Chains A and B, each alone.
Chain A
Amino acid sequence: MSENRYELNKNLAQMLKGGVIMDVTTPEQARIAEAAGACAVMALERIPADIRAAGGVSRMSDPKMIKGIQDAVSIPVMAKCRIGHFAEAQILEAIEIDYIDESEVLSPADDKYHIDKTKFKVPFVCGAKDLGEALRRINEGAAMIRTKGEPGTGDVVQAVRHMRLMQAEIRRISSSAEDELFDIAKGLQVPYDLVQYVHENKKLPVVNFAAGGVATPADAALMMQLGAEGVFVGSGIFKSGNPEKRAAAIVKAVTNFTDAKLLAELSEDLGEAMVGINEHEIELLMAQRGE
């Protein structure tokens, strides 16, 4: 039965593919995101750019605030809990969240163990920087993976690095001889059957989105061309000059990610993009939380 539930949870991620999941902090923003074509929203009290600016410990959002967003839209609603904080996850499950993001954007609650996600009925999405991390999260029960990128920066460089690394490792495993898979599993610190799945199917066993630093339609198209199956946009939308227009443009860019002419039209007159912080200016690397 629990295996069946895991299948249903992976299936929901399949329905999100080709779509954009947007961070929202109020019911009003959630309605704007839905109207702009978001396939799901991530409900959180502060978007990553503000978490970064405020500093201090960052936790799961107030359930009342999340419920307000659930009432405001008909698309799936996701929310974040801290890495390893299974009690926060239990609370999110109790309010019937559609997806839990066990996220490095919040302050980690456990510096060693991630949540045993097989104990939950609701699905989890987790961040990863490389294939080993992705497969370890899947082994713990994650039904969807996203790149970590570097949240709240508006700088896409790390999401690109993580996606390229993951795809390169998938290509390497696909072309490896079968008797080499045991050693690859050992090296990645993951179970053999997951490595075997990647070898046979040339992809992760779950849906893989891009996240962290996506700020423009071109960024979204870049990540899709690099192999992402959809895109999370956090601070990029509601930290920009014209959130409605930018959100709608990113949605269309994800659907037609190879049509440069259309992408050119979509990139016009979007107003100011979020300011952004360059990689070397970052004091806190969220991507290094939870390996």
Chain B
Amino acid sequence: MSVRIAVLALQGAFIEHEKMLSKLGIASFEIRQKKDLLHSFDGLIIPGGESSVQGKLLKELELFEPIRKLITEKVPIFGTCAGLLLLSKQIENDGRVYLATMDITAVRNAYGRQLGSFYTAESFGTMGKIPMTFIRAPYIKDVSDSVVILATVNSKIVAARQGNQLVTAFHPELNDDLTVHRYFIKICGGEQLNRIID
């Protein structure tokens, strides 16, 4: 079985995700407008960028409702940084919410402006320490009981999963480590690929 991943390509660092997938030998394609959703795919990545820009374009390009529906139908979805904000049910310091499908409360620009951006290495689930790059990043302040916390940095939640939804406040696509993408591919039904990608 071969897995095919859609990458939302409205704005931000979508090419970086496509490169990570290609390193894993996973096929991907870009979603820029409604007709792109007609292709079949096993999972969707919402990249880093600006959540306000992507949120607005989702609505104006009529992608908002179809994608929301896909998520409620349990299509695997992976949001990094801005993608995390788009999936959050609540954003503490911002009146706006977008897809609002994941039971988490996020804080936008939680580490301040660009001078607050940083790099560290921390544990991700049981998969060991991985590099984490935070760029004007959010973090997760609160989660419901059905959300599994996958990583914390200085006791702030920076990665979590709720069923088919995976989010990271950091950018795994900006470093060479493939752990998080490999983990997402498994959620997308790539379990059978274990032998190939492990």
Residues of A within 8 A of B (CB): 4, 7-9, 11-12, 14-19, 34-35, 37-40, 70, 74-76, 93, 96-99, 121-123, 248, 251-252, 254-256, 259, 262
Contacts and interface: CB of A to CB of B under 8 A. Distances in A.
A247 to B, nearest CB: 11
Nearest to A77: B113
Given A18-B12, A39-B49, A11 B133 contact: yes
A214 B12 CA distance: 20
22 contacts: A7-B119, A7-B133, A8-B119, A11-B171, A15-B13, A15-B50, A16-B50, A17-B15, A18-B9, A37-B52, A38-B53, A39-B49, A75-B52, A75-B53, A76-B113, A96-B112, A96-B115, A122-B114, A255-B9, A255-B57, A259-B32, A262-B33
A252 B57 contact: yes
Contacts of A97: 113
Nearest to A14: B13
A15 B135 contact: yes
Nearest to A98: B114
Contacts of A259: 32-33
Given A98-B136, A255-B10, A255-B57, A19 B33 contact: no
Interface of B: 9-16, 32-33, 48-50, 52-53, 56-57, 60-61, 81-82, 94, 108-109, 112-115, 117-119, 133, 135-136, 171, 174
B52 A74 contact: yes
Contacts of A76: 50, 113-114, 136
A256 B119 contact: no
A190 to B, nearest CB: 25
B51 to A, nearest CB: 9
Contacts of A70: 113
Contacts of A74: 52, 94, 108-109
B94 to A, nearest CB: 6
Contacts of B119: 4, 7-8
A66 to B, nearest CB: 12
A199 to B, nearest CB: 19
Given A98-B136, A122-B114, A15 B48 contact: yes
Contacts of B117: 8-9, 11-12
Contacts of B118: 8
A12 B49 CA distance: 9
A248 to B, nearest CB: 8
Contacts, number: 111
Contact of A37 (B13, B56, B135): B56
Contacts of A7: 119, 133
A17 B60 contact: no
Contact of B50 (A4, A75, A121, A262): A75
B33 to A, nearest CB: 6
A134 B49 CA distance: 24
A272 B50 CA distance: 29
A39 B114 CA distance: 14
Given A19-B49, A248-B60, A255-B61, 8 more contacts: A8-B118, A12-B135, A15-B136, A18-B9, A39-B49, A76-B113, A254-B11, A256-B33
Contacts of B9: 18, 255
A8 B33 CA distance: 30
Nearest to A40: B50
B109 to A, nearest CB: 6
A221 to B, nearest CB: 13
Given A74-B108, A121-B115, A37 B57 contact: yes
Contacts of B13: 14-15, 17
A12 B14 contact: no
B135 A8 contact: yes
Contacts of B11: 17-19, 39, 254-255
Contacts of A39: 11-12, 49-50, 53
A100 B119 CA distance: 21
A35 B135 CA distance: 22
Given A74-B109, A255-B10, A15 B57 contact: no
Q: Across chains A and B, which 10 residue pairs bring their CB atoms closest together, nearest first?
A: A98-B114, A18-B11, A8-B117, A39-B50, A96-B113, A14-B13, A19-B11, A37-B56, A37-B53, A11-B135
